Amino acid sequence: MKGIKRIVGGVVAKKGAHPHIAMLSYVGFGGYGQFCDGTIIHKRFILTAAHCFVGWDESASTYEVLLGAHSKMTTEEGQETYLLESIECHKEYKVTQRQILYDICILKTSEDIQFNKSVWPICLPDDTPPPNSEELAGMKCVVAGWGDTRFTGDDRVLNQVDVPVLTPETCQEWYNDNNILVDIDQHVCAGYEEGGRDACQGDSGGPFVCDRTDLQKIDHHMKMNQNQKILTGIVSFGVGCAQAKNPGVYTNINYFLPWIFDQINKHDDCYPSNPCKNGGLCLDNFHGHDCECPSGWTGPDCSLAEEDLTACHKNVCISGECILDDSTSRGYTCDCDYGYGGPFCHIVTDNCVAINCNLGTCKLDASGEAQCICPQNWTGEFCATDVNECLDNPCAPGAGCDNIDGGYECSCPIGYEGDGTKEGTGCSAHNCGPSSVCTNNQGGFKCSCEAGFTGNPPAVKCR
């Protein structure tokens, strides 16, 4: 059982698609020091996984959070960096051979987060049905992060993958062979029976997000377009990486809402410097605060004039860009990303956009189904399995063969020299020089002079 580290079988996220995600790093290292992810839920608080901190350095001054980032290597417009004031992990957090429990932490920033189009809090569940309920089974939700994608994409930029929610019964059945115990209250499972798409080691603490429009009941506190998402889970653990019947396990936000609210309510959110703009009234609540806006103003902080709202503020293009268009009854059209269509860009028109063939190429068969065409040295449904070339004995006689990603390496044993390949120099016994003798010695070799000669071969020839 491993902590989650990377997105497997996903795609590069569109810039601005996840304004709620936080990159956790070490102070002064920026994106290069990224070690975990988190989720903005409030202007001072970020949720993440306890295993990112417990057992490591838990001093808040060691860390910083990068918000609004897309790439680890470059700074984006609207990107912000904040220091931490405190780190509060659940006191009952524990790891066993069979599961991780109470895997949740809340981080408090040293100052208020300044929200913009690239930095925005996500909604917590309110009256939504529990994510493990039968009506949610099969719903595809999104996990995103900067973890090491290895063969699956570019880990320097934000990646995302869609995975379906599983019932606890299905999750436990799949994990029985690995002796993993799923907690019906604390855990949410998501993944494919055949594997291929998942989170993996390095995206720890990141958000597992479902569309509020797919839920039967929604959180009514925030009405902005950016808040059409509900935080359903926190990336916690799994077995292997996108393997068949080994789904990702996420900390269930619904179960931990009382704990989250208790942490937030330790602080009076409505500061003397009213966070509500344009005369709005600040009302403290479990989520942090609400702004009761005066007539003519709207938005979470009453900063948007109602007269300035457009159709694109009120509607969403699922996989595309909203463009104002007065010639339509809706007042806008959706410019769909490649592979998507329909009035809201919600229909997949090219099945290749839904899978990642890693180093391979996606092709559509006669029926329109996507399949991966793998390059030499790679195999598997998603071209993610390395072929073991050493099985064909490609190296010279006596040489060792090491299977590496996408190829193999030949090497000579101790006491021999050469490149170990059939095409090159092969492996030959070590030459100690004239009038010398080479003998095996404790797993290696030893050079010595023949009788009647002196020297220290091979450095000093025998004479």
Positions marked catalytic: 51, 103, 204
Query: Rounded to the nearest 5 degrees, what angle is found at the Cα of 268, between the Cα atoms of 263 and 273?
Result: 140
Residues β-bridged to residue 100: 95
As a whole number of angstroms, the distance between CA 336 and CA 347 comes to 10
Residues 6 or more apart from 327 whose CB is under 8 A from it? none
- C-alpha–C-alpha distance, residues 165 and 141, integer Å: 7
The β-bridge relationship of strands 361-364 and 281-285 is: unpaired
- The CA-based angle 10-15-17, given to 5 degrees, is 70
Q: CA 390 → CA 215, 385, 409, distances in Å?
A: 51, 15, 9
Determine the Cα–Cα distance for residues 263 and 429; give it in Å rounded to an integer: 69
* Euclidean distance between the first and the last CA atom of the chain, given in angstroms as a whole number: 61
CB count within 10 Å of CB 271 equals: 13
* Distance of alpha carbon 125 from alpha carbon 253, whole angstroms: 7
